[in-house]
Amino acid sequence: MRKIQSFVRRSGRLTLGQKMGLTDFWKDYGVDLPKGKIDLDALFIKRQEVVLEVGFGNGDSLLKMAINMPDKNFLGIEVYEAGIGRLINEAHKCQLGNLKIIQADAVEVLTHHIENDSLVGFQLFFPDPWHKKKHHKRRIINTDFLGILSQKVRQGGRIHMATDWEHYATQMLDTLENHPHFKNTQNTPTYSPRPQYRPITKFERRGERLGHGVWDLIFTNEKRL
């Protein structure tokens, strides 16, 4: 049976900076996947708690978070070459030591290359909403994916998602609320205010100007309770 992908690999002309990020600076920020699990303690310069972000787009938000929180290590997964190259190039300019990038399918990485209980947090900001009803099956958030997350994120770890598509926000909320391993930080089945640590991107500001809403969901992993 063909695997249903939650993403489309986009390609296009790369800028010089993006090319440099993918080639010259990959050795410093890129992660070549091993056959087994990634040794997160050996991956980063400092041994710190690791936050994983999936689908970081052009990388603006993840870059700011890595800069603002030097006491945490950030691991980003993306398939979009231009975004990967741009983020690595910007990370090089800032000489960040707490950011690493993987170019691969997030589900495959989580399933085969991330140790259980190795993440303190997981982030998914503005994923592809696959807004047509016939494409809803491609949305990355479903019960099976949350089951994988519950294994990889440690007890008490935080799951933070955000979307500007209300229908997808409703689905995310329902799926999280009905999963036995996750607890809403709001202590009620509702959305969270945007925390200060999540930067507002140009994409989000543009949406706000157009009257789009944004919904944040923050849950903790309580799988052992």
What would the pLDDT profile of 65-108 be if each residue is shown by its tens digit?
999 999 999 999 999 999 999 999 999 999 999 999 999 999 99
110, burial (CB in 10 Å: exposed 0-12, middle 13-18, buried 19+): buried
Which amino acid, one-letter code, is at 166?
A: E
Mean pLDDT over all residues of the chain?
90
Helix (H) or strand (E) holding 107: helix 106-113
Nearest to 102 by CA among 127, 128, 74: 74
| 89 close to 114: Cβ distance less than 8 angstroms | no
Q: Domains of the chain: which residue ranges?
A: 16-221
For residues 178 and 175, what is the distance between their CA atoms, to the nearest angstrom? 5
**Is the pLDDT confidence value at 6 over 70?**
no
Please say whether the beta carbons of 153 and 221 come within 8 A.
Answer: yes
Which element (helix H / strand E) includes 99?
Answer: strand 99-103
Q: Inform me whether the pLDDT recorded for 225 exceeds 90.
A: no
Question: 12-59 pLDDT, tens per residue?
Answer: 689 999 999 999 999 999 999 999 999 999 999 999 999 999 999 999
Question: What is the pLDDT, as a whole number, of residue 178?
Answer: 96
Please, which pLDDT band fits residue 223 given cuts at 50, 70 and 90?
confident
- The pair phi, psi for residue 141, each rounded to 5°, is -85, 115
Over residues 119-161, the pLDDT tens digits come to 999 999 998 764 556 534 658 999 999 999 999 999 999 999 9
Is residue 84 a contact partner of residue 78, using CB atoms and an 8 Å limit? yes
- Residues 160 and 218: their CA atoms lie apart, in Å, by 4
Residues with a known catalytic role:
128
Q: What CATH class is the domain 16-221?
A: alpha beta
pLDDT of residue 218: 98
